[in-house]
Structure 1
Amino acid sequence: MLKTLKSYFGYDQFRPLQKEIITSILAKKDTLVLMPTGGGKSICYQLPALMMEGTAIVVSPLISLMKDQVESLQANGIIARALNSTNDETTNANVRFECRQGRVRLLYISPERLMSELNFLLKDIRISLFAIDEAHCISQWGHDFRPEYTQLKILREQFPQVPIVALTATADKITRQDILKQLDMKDPQIFISSFDRPNLNLEVRRGYQQKDKIRTILNFIRKHPQESGIIYCMSRNTTEKVAEMLSDYGLKVAVYHAGLSTPVREAAQDDFINDRVQIVCATIAFGMGIDKSNVRWVIHYNLPKSIESFYQEIGRAGRDGLPSDTLLFYSFSDIILLSKFAADSKQQEINLEKLNRMQQYAETDICRRRILLNYFGETMDHDCGNCDVCRNPPERFDGTIIVQKALSAIARTNQQIGTHTLIDILKGSASQEIIEKGYDKVKTYGAGREIPARDWQDYLLQMLNLGYFEVAYNENNHLKITEAGKKVLFGQTTAQLVTIKREEKAARTRKSAKNQTAEQVPLFGQTSTENQDDRLFEELRQLRKKLADSQAIPPYIVLTDKTLHLLATLKPTTIEAFGEISGIGEYKKEKYGKDFITVIRHVLKV
């Protein structure tokens, strides 16, 4: 396994969980993989595909995603192909021919195309494994549900011996269970990697008007000269307005939204991937097919509709592991508009609950990273130090008794109530529901009388964000106590809550809306490596661009920014030493070694 990893991908060691996942797949076990964007999901099925007999079938929802993956594999000397509607029939015929000859190691295919090939190509070739990428698309609870994915259950019926690997970066507990059920996975091995992306700096700004936003964005971009970034906007109209304003300041900006023609969208994506433009202003239609490893920042001009969407979109920054920055703007008008969208959607309840959680993230006084991780069922017992809340920490107090009262009421009602009923119980309300259901008889009835209802709302929000209970939105939004919550309830640990300061907070918000327009954005994480020769890095970047352009592939597919930084820091002067750098496999060593060594020796004058 390590030999294959080094030879094809240029890495000396696996990332967390990769080895265990690959071992499970090689043992032909059904496997569910949850790993954050940039965590190394692709290698989990690509490496077994190189070690197993036959062709791996990779089901992918987007043509741009397939193209990117296929180009990356081919750049490592691996025979990978895609069957999709952008190929002409001659190309697709050639791909089928190569597959029947047993030459293709990985075949990328859309779910629709997979169905049409089921009784033809797939019956004629030896299949090593099925990899279902972006597997959350199969679940009605997933944030990006796609009906065409629901037909994939047929794979288990028709190919009972072939292992199925489902991979996603964004799936909460309910979505995970649904993926297993929809794909009819047998005795699956489940691997949940940490969702933490410590290299991402998280920041939120509330209540800014358009003028303030643009000024802040320009400030932000000045801290990232020449570095790629994405600005996500809620509407098509806003993407065009923002792009126009930034272009007026001399920035190279592309626009991407579903209202543009396919050629215009493809050109925008192509310009961004190939570093011909620095910034893309886009709606959420953009990015799922982007594997660009050197996106250094992501800005949300408006509040996203769910934490899954937000997490996936910020996940497009810093995929190479280098420091990257994220900035979220949101205002009351965003909430109103998104609530309307959610209320008008087919899954009204789910979408309103998901929006509610996104709003809670934006308004919290608790470490933002802890909230993100808790949402995906991962507990972090310390603050991250790399978000705006951690940099300006609020005042806290021992809130153990308050938390115990709330959790006790949830437990005594058999975890069958929502927040509204919980507050009614704690406040000792004599509402019809409370009396009818006998909740006025539980021991904690009225136990929180002295705390105002709106403060209870705030404390419960904090408890949710700290991971003491979760909301089961597939069970009428009932509250369920977590393991972390049980420890507080039974006195095994204490709970720190944030002191509520309403008047001060309101005054501070008004003051910040007035003053922050002129405020300089703090200096964010720099991408330069200690001991790096910056002139050499720039020369290597120019060479990479030239090599990429000559092959009509994106620069990051030649070598990633991370590998370039290592070259500019370690300065290898022989082909062998070049091949030892992380991210450079045998194929790239042979193909590019001479060119890069020539530049390094020239700059170092050796």
Structure 2
Amino acid sequence: MKMLEHYLYKYFSYTTFKEKQQEIIEEVMTKRNVFAMLATGSGKSLCYQLPALINEGLTIVISPLLALMENQVQELKQKGIKRTAAYNSFLSFKEKKYILSNLSSYKILYISPESIQQHDVLYQLAKQNISLFAVDEAHCISQWGHEFRTDYLKLSNIRDVLGAPPCLALTASAAPEVQNDILQQLQLKDPVIFCDSIDRRNISIEVVPASNEEEKKKVLIDFLNVLPMPGMVYVSSRKKAEKLSIMIKEETALTAFSYHGGMTQEDRNLIQQQFLEGETNVICCTNAFGMGINKPDIRFVLHYNYPKDLESYIQEIGRAGRDGFPSTAILLRSNEDKIFPRRLIENEFPAENQINEASIEIEKNAQQKCSEQFLMERCGFEETHARFFTHYWNEWHNHSHKLNEVKEYILKIIDKRKGWKFTKLKQMEEWIWNDDTCRRKRLLEYFGEKQLTKPEQCCGICGADPLKKERHIKKPSKNMTWKDRLASLFHQCS
């Protein structure tokens, strides 16, 4: 479609689309509901940004992280696309009011699933011509929505309030059951589905055993002394992120910082910016870091602790090598690591005694509605537990008034979600501890793909060497135009 290529060059100065971008955009332009799973670095954001700039009206982008919103807005503004905004807690009351009063002047509005639930926000948005409802990082609906951020589960209702605009759901990794959960939660009717391969052939995959924590630290330092920079080290906790970043600075000549959800937003923004601009060698981070980070030259992703599911693993290693050059994914494994993810899953839910106590407390206060604030103040709930309990308590009471059955309903939900999460964890661990089969082949099979050919540097089982020096010599492609090289220099990747 020549018209799309014209607008692609007009707004983004690109002459060609990446694989599947054009087909997705064509379907979006015909007002179809679309689900697209595209590998990290394949230009997912362009699939809603370009239609937003061409179509009349406002495109709403549901985005999970404040830093991700800010990063995308700044990139668009650097490209000269000014009619875009992020509505979030960074803003002052005056700034929020200005955005809501001038919605008709924007083409793209980034907003979190929590912010869009606010009455004044939804009221103003409902008065607009919404051309597209995009859900970025849509796997969060399945991975975060049911427990941590239940507002994800309300997005289909929000979309109805906004006049049921066409929906585009985007993710980089979703196994078939996660895809089904996303489609069900968003209630997408007759969606067009695009599933690109999750295989990132320029990333070699390595799992390295370590007998205990001390050996893991030594292996980590050994790798960091020889791996090309920059890189990311994923850990399981905030405390570990801080300790490892200090250790790296003390035992190597590298600059290293920690990044996690317990830091102030200002500190997180500063560290993210330093990393993007090449002022930091290594980021030790929890899974709060990396989503939407547009840094094409990350040379390695090292998992000091493994994630709870293969979807997260694919998301996280996909942050390496977005420039197409050889990169490495290394996972350190130890039997000691098995305790933490199980404990983490258990702690994601309120305990049965808490549920019983909260139910009694609510029943005693007949006039008291079940709310997050009430549960935290009167029942000692953590915020995420209060959010979970409130969501399913209210869901039950929307369909039934039998108070004596609501506790059993919530406990069944918990049991089902725990079972699902432990199954995903078991699949992750089976992949980690299987030393007989090509790791890439098993990953592809998990996501419903077949391995057709192997890259030269495939995985450790197939003989890949993550430290082979010639892998990391950057040679510009003969097919690169001067415009492509200039865009690469300024990190202008879609």
TM-score bin, normalised by smaller chain:
0.7 to 0.9
- Give the corresponding residue for 1:240: 242
* TM-fit CA distance, 1:197: 0.9
Distance 2:52 2:325 in 1: 28
Report the equivalent of 1:176.
179
Whether 1:357 and 2:430 are equivalent positions in the alignment is no
Contact kept? 2:126, 2:162, Cα under 8 Å: no
Q: Which residue does the alignment assign to 1:250? A: 253
Q: Which amino acid aligns with 1:308?
A: E
CA–CA separation in structure 1 for the residues paired with 2:157 and 2:470: 47
Higher relative contact order (CA 8 A, sep 6+): 2
SS of the residue 1:285 aligns to: coil
SS in 2 for 1:128: strand
Q: TM-score if structure 1 supplies the norm length?
A: 0.63
> Is the CA contact (8 Å cut-off) linking 2:125 and 2:162 kept in structure 1?
no
Q: Deviations over 1:341-395 (max 9, x none)?
A: 33555432122211111111112221111222221222224444433345339xx
Structure 2 alignment gaps of length 5 or more: 350-416
User: What is residue 231 of structure 2 aligned with on the other side?
Assistant: 229
Q: Which residue of 2 aligns with 1:185?
A: 188
Contact 2:113 2:152 in 1 (8 A): yes
Report what 1:523 is aligned to.
468
Tell whether the 8 Å contact from 1:257 to 1:285 is kept in structure 2 after alignment. yes
Q: Does 1:136 align with 2:207?
A: no
Question: What one-letter code is carried by the residue in structure 2 that aligns with 1:238?
Answer: K
Equivalent in the alignment of 1:348: 418
- CA distance in 2 between counterparts of 1:222 and 1:257 reads 24
Shift of 1:270: 3.0
2:128 to 125, 128, 143: 125
User: Percent identity of the aligned residues?
Assistant: 37
Q: Provide, for residues 109-153 of structure 1, a one-character-per-residue CA deviation record: whole Å limited to 9, x for no partner.
A: 111221225543213322211111111222369798621111111
Residue type at the aligned position of 2:178: T
Structure 1 residue 378 and structure 2 residue 449: aligned?
A: yes
The alpha carbon displacement at 1:262 in A equals 3.8
Report how far residue 38 of structure 1 moved.
Answer: 0.9
**Distance 1:293-1:97 versus aligned 2 partners, 3 A rule:** farther
State the SS of the aligned residue for 2:233: strand
Which protein shows a greater Rg? 1
- Whether the aligned pair in 2 keeps the contact of 1:223 and 1:523 (CA below 8 Å) is no
After superposition, the C-alpha distances for 1:16-60 in whole angstroms (9 at most, x for unaligned) are 211111010000001111112112111111111121112211111
TM-score (norm 2): 0.77
Equivalent residue number for residue 86 of structure 1: 90
Could you tell me which residue of structure 1 aligns to residue 103 of structure 2? 99
Name the aligned partner's letter for residue 31 of structure 1.
V
Q: Distance in 1 between matches of 2:147 and 2:298?
A: 22
Q: Distance in 1 between matches of 2:261 and 2:98?
A: 32
Counterpart residue type for residue 419 of structure 2: E
Q: Which amino acid aligns with 2:92?
A: D
Quote the residue 1:274 is aligned against.
277
Which runs of structure 2 are paired with 1:501-540 in the superposition (5 Å)?
Answer: 522-523=467-468, 526-530=471-475
Structure 1: distance between partners of 2:456 and 2:16: 28
> Given residue 440 of structure 2, which amino acid in structure 1 is its aligned partner?
R
Structure 1 distance, partners of 2:168, 2:79, is 23
CA distance in structure 2 between the aligned counterparts of 1:66 and 1:344, rounded to whole angstroms: 29
Deviation, structure 1 residue 216: 3.3
> Alignment partner for residue 296 of structure 1, among 294, 299, 305?
299
**Matched residues in 2 for 1:368 and 1:525: separation?**
23
Equivalence for 1:452: none
**Deviation string, structure 1 residues 158-181 (Cα, Å, up to 9, x no partner):** 244521111111221112112112
Q: Which stretch has the larger CA shift, 194-203 or 275-284?
A: 275-284
Tell me whether 26-35 or 111-120 shows the greater mean CA deviation: 111-120
Contact 2:147 2:348 in 1 (8 A): no
State the distance in 2 between where 1:582 and 1:132 align: 31
Change (3 A) 1:89 1:524: farther
**Residue identity in the other structure for 1:232:** Y
Distance 2:315 2:147 in 1: 11
Task: Tell me if the contact between 2:210 and 2:216 (Cα under 8 Å) persists in the aligned partners.
Answer: no
Q: Distance in 1 between matches of 2:211 and 2:247?
A: 16
CA distance in 1, matches of 2:236, 2:71: 26
Counterpart-to-counterpart distance in 1, 2:146 and 2:253: 36
Displacement of 1:76 in angstroms is 1.3
Cα distance in structure 1, aligned partners of 2:145 and 2:302: 23
Can you give the 5+ residue segments of structure 1 that lack an aligned partner in the other structure? Answer: 394-519, 531-564, 572-576, 589-606
Distance in 2 between residues matched to 1:341 and 1:381, nearest whole Å = 37
Give the 3 Å change call, closer, same or farther, for CA 303–143 of structure 1 in structure 2. Answer: farther
Q: 1:66 aligns with which of 33, 55, 69?
A: 69
